[in-house]
Amino acid sequence: MNAPETAVRTLTRGEQKQAYENNKLFKRLARQVGQAIADYNMIEAGDKVMVCVSGGKDSYALLDILLRLRERAPIDFDIIAVNLDQKQPGFPAHVLPEYLTARGVPFHVENQDTYSIVKRLVPEGKTTCSLCSRLRRGILYRVAGELGATKIALGHHRDDILQTVLLNMFYGGKLKGMPPKLQSDDGKHIVIRPLAYVKENDLEKYAQLREFPIIPCNLCGSQPNLKRAEMKTLLQEWDKRFPGRVDNMFSALADVVPSHLMDHRLFPFAGLRATGVADPHGDIAFDDEPCATPDSGTVPIVPFDAL
C-alpha cells in the first residue's frame, strides 16, 4: 500500500525571512533574560517563582520566556502564575485562566476589589494609580507568602527602567532607577525583573508573534501616567536622532563611578587625601576631548609627569 500523500508546502522567501527573524527575536529575548538572571543571580535551584501576570504583553512574555528557559535550565525551579483580579469593570476574568490552563501552568487568581476602594478614597479627577499600585503590591506580597513563593517576578523591561531613571531625576531630584532585583518593602520577599535587559519594542513584536490574548489596560478608566508617557517620548526621540545614546544611558546604569558623582554617603569625600599614585582613568574633566569618539579612536592617556 502506498504511503498517504502529505501536502508539504514550501515556504515562500518572505515566509522564510519572517521565520528567520522570529527565531532571531526569540533567541535575543532568551539570551537577554538568561543574562539578566545570571548577572543578578535572580533564580536559584529550588526557587518557587511567582510570576505576576496582568494580561498585558510584558507579563505574558515574561511567563512565556521563563517557561521556555526552564526547559533547558541547568537547575530546577517552579513557576506559578498569579493574577490579581482588581474587579475593574469589564475585566474579562476568563481570559487568563483559559490561557494558563491551556499552557498547563499552575496558577492562582486573587480576587480583591481594589477598584472600589480606590474609587471611594481618591477624589474625582485625581490620579488613582499610586494608591492602586500600593494596594496591589501589598496583596501580591501577601499572596506570595501564602503560596510559599521565594521570588516574585515582575514584567518591567529596559524602557520602564530608563523612564524611571529620568522621572526620578527630573521630578524627584534623585539618581534612582528600578533595580533588577530587590528586597520587597515589607522585607519579606525578593522581587526580580528578568526582562530588565529587554527592549519594549521586542516585547511588542514577541506578543504579536505568540498571539497572547492581551487584556486592555485602561479598564480602570484612570488617566494615563502623563509624566511617564513624556519620558517615553523623550527617549524615543533621542533614540531616533542620536542612535546609541539610549543604549549608552542604559549601560551607564551598570557602570557607576561614585567618586565622580556627589553623594558623600557613597564615597568618603571628607577623608579624601592624595595618595601619590596616579590614576590613568581618573579625573579627565579638564581634558579638551574627554570622550573618545568612534571616529577619533581612543585618546592616548599621557602621564602627567610626561607633560
Q: Which is nearer to ligand SF4, 37 or 155 (CB)?
A: 155
Of 69, 105, 117, 129, the one binding ligand SF4 (CB under 6 A) is 129
Residue showing cell 521630578:
171
Tell me how many residues contact ligand SF4 (CB under 6 A): 6
Considering beta carbons, is residue 132 or 198 the nearer one to ligand SF4? 132
| 222 is a site residue for ligand SF4 (CB under 6 A) | yes
Nearest CB to ligand SF4, comparing residues 185 and 283: 185
Contact status, residue 180 vs residue 119, Cβ threshold 8 Å: no
For 78, 80, 213, 214, the CA distances from 60, given in Å and listed in that order, are 17, 13, 9, 8
- Asked if 57 and 204 count as a contact pair (C-beta separation under 8 A), the reply is yes
Q: Which of 133, 183, 208, 259 binds ligand SF4 (CB under 6 A)?
A: 133
Candidates 58-66, 125-133, 155-163, 177-185 — which segment interacts with ligand SF4 by CB under 6 A? 125-133
User: Which residue reads 490574548 in cell numbers?
Assistant: 213
**Is 52 annotated as belonging to a binding site?**
no
Nearer to ligand SF4 (CB atom), residue 107 or residue 115: 115
The residue among 157, 144, 161 whose CA lies nearest residue 194 is 157
CA–CA distances in Å: residue 154 to residues 99, 280, 291: 19, 41, 36
The reply to whether 220 sits near ligand SF4 by the rule CB under 6 A is yes
- Using CB under 6 A as the binding rule, whether residue 132 contacts ligand SF4 is answered as yes
Contacts of 36 (CB under 8 A, 6+ apart): 42, 180, 193, 194, 195, 196, 197
Question: Cβ closer to ligand SF4: 49 or 132?
Answer: 132
Binding site for ligand SF4 (CB under 6 A): 128-129, 132-133, 220, 222
Which parts are annotated binding residues for [4Fe-4S] cluster?
129, 132, 220
